[in-house]
Amino acid sequence: MNGKEIEKMFSLSDLRETKVYQEALEEGKEEVKKKKLDKSP
């Protein structure tokens, strides 16, 4: 499947409402916070 075919199946907003997307987003935010804290003096 290519990106266009996937877009036809799901709109981006539908993807953003999924639990998997939400969890991945939160994990990403936590990683950024940890990295910022590690770099602070």
Tell me the pLDDT band of 27, cut-offs 50, 70 and 90.
very high
| Exposure class string for 18-39: b at 16+ Cβ within 10 A, else e | eeeeeeeeeeeeeeeeeeeeee
Contact in structure between 21 and 15 (CB atoms under 8 Å): yes
Please report the pLDDT score of residue 28 as a whole number: 92
Range of the domain at 28: 3-39
Question: What whole-number percentage of the chain has pLDDT above 70?
Answer: 100
Q: Which residue has the higher pLDDT, 1 or 36?
A: 36
Contact in structure between 22 and 30 (CB atoms under 8 Å): no
Tell me the pLDDT band of 2, cut-offs 50, 70 and 90.
confident
SS3 23: helix
If one counts the domains in the chain, the total is 1
Which residue in this structure is represented by tokens 């990403």?
28
Cα angle, residue 35 at apex, residues 33 and 40 outer, rounded to 5°: 95
